[in-house]
Amino acid sequence: MRHIYTDLAIERRELYQEENKGEIEGVSVDVVEEENYTITTVKILNEKGSSIMGRPKGTFITLEVPNLNKSNEDLKDEISIALSKVLLSLTEGLKRDKVLIIGLGNWNISSDALGPKVVDRVLVTRHFFINYKKETDESMANVAAMSPGVMGVTGIETFDIVKGIVDKIKPDLVIAVDALASRKMERVSTTIQLTDVGITPGSGVGNRRQGLNMESLGVPVISIGIPTVVNAATMVNDTMELIIESLKKEAEVGKEFYALLEELSQEEKYTLIEEVLNPYSANVIVTPKDIDVLIDDLSIIVANGLNIALHPGIGIEDVNRYIR
């Protein structure tokens, strides 16, 4: 599969389809279309599918909401409820009386602040359970939440912080929230991905750290992510492909120029773009100009979805009163 980075499983599948004109062996796909959003479930079933997709075996569920980046209050509520239902389906069969929510990312950088802002808005209840000496409650879960920051700010590996907390409070489930990278600008701030395979902090910007998953933490890890950035080389590559397709329509079949365009492989085009961009600024990351406002809105949607899913006694009306 060509060298175009994306955190979204749905886009990894698309890249394979573009190159191979078929589905991936060992991967199943289910699509449900609603009026305002589409839910795509990608399941990586075996090692062959994992190798092609470049992701571990597991389930990746994507909510695509074209108007999410300019949504009104009604749409925000609808997506929060949809998110809560997807989260409940993904954790079906898992114990979730005690949950630890981890907000990954750098709170000083707008495009990377989704995780910390979600943590600011989730309903934490662990202190109630401690004070009243309760183990469980029918109306709410025992929820703790924290933002470990990034190594460049704290000097400590994110994994070490999270592992220490997990070992101390022993949650049934860890939910990690982070900003992701997409290959398409139209998916930035309009797509939510949930997966049961955990997450590798910093992978979206090429700064991969120790992964947070069942194997490393000893408890199930669900990750929730929204793409907030696109690699500049990826954007230019997609634009170049559109230009080439347009030029091919104008070029006469069999002529030298047409043959030159046909001979350019996807890998050659992407490598050429990276070589052109690198002298100016290596690994440029692009994000929307109104990212501050978008992150605020998206963090509310994710936090509302988490609160509704984790606390049975809380509905959308309650969280709207609590979170603003």
> Can you give the pLDDT at residue 280?
53
Lookup: tokens for 176? 């990690």
Kindly report, residue by residue over 87-119, the tens digit of the pLDDT. Answer: 999 999 999 999 999 999 998 999 999 999 999
**Domains of the chain with CATH codes:** 9-233+284-322 (3.40.50.1450), 234-277 (no CATH)
Closest CA to 192 of 95, 75, 283: 75
Residue 263, pLDDT score: 66
**Are residues 245 and 199 in contact, defined by beta-carbon separation less than 8 angstroms?**
no
* pLDDT value of position 255: 63
Nearest to 114 by CA among 288, 290, 294, 289: 294
> CA–CA separation, 8 vs 28, rounded Å?
15
- Residues 147, 115 contacting (CB under 8 angstroms): yes
- Which residues, listed in sequence order, are joined to residue 59 by a DSSP beta bridge? 43
User: Any bridge partners for residue 44, and if so which?
Assistant: 27, 58
Q: Is 210 exposed, middle or buried (0-12, 13-18, 19+ CB in 10 A)?
A: middle
CA dist 300 and 297 (Å) reads 5
**Residues 292-314 as b or e (16 or more Cβ within 10 Å = b):** eebbebbbbbbbbbbbbbbbeeb
Please tell me the pTM assigned to this model.
0.86
Give counts: helices (H), strands (E), the chain: 13, 9
Q: What is the chain's percent helix, strand, coil content, to nearest 5?
A: 45, 20, 35
Q: In this structure, which amino acid lies at residue 115?
A: G
Kindly state the tokens that stand for 238: 């997609």
Task: Please give the pLDDT value at position 121.
Answer: 94
The DSSP element (H or E) to which 103 belongs, if any, is strand 98-103
Asked whether 45 and 266 are in contact (CB, 8 A), the reply is no
Provide the pLDDT for residue 69: 87
Look at residue 312 in the predicted model and tell me its pLDDT: 92
Nearest Cα neighbor of 176 from 243, 111, 116 is: 116
Whole-number percent of the chain with pLDDT over 90: 62
Closest to 181 (Cα-Cα) out of 196, 166, 162, 201: 201
Of 171-180, 195-204, 250-259, the one with minimum mean pLDDT is 250-259
pLDDT level of residue 22 (50, 70, 90 thresholds) = confident
The CA distance from 147 to 162, in Å, is 9
The pLDDT assigned to 311 comes to: 95
The pLDDT value given to residue 5: 75
Span 115-138, pLDDT tens digits: 999 999 999 999 999 999 999 999
Q: What pLDDT, on the 0 to 100 scale, is given for residue 232? A: 74
The pLDDT value given to residue 184? 86
pLDDT over threshold 70, residue 61? yes
What pLDDT is stored for residue 21 in this prediction? 73
Query: Which of the residue ranges 20-34, 216-230, 262-276 would you say has the lowest mean pLDDT?
Result: 262-276
Average pLDDT, the chain: 86
Residue 281 has pLDDT above 60, yes or no: no
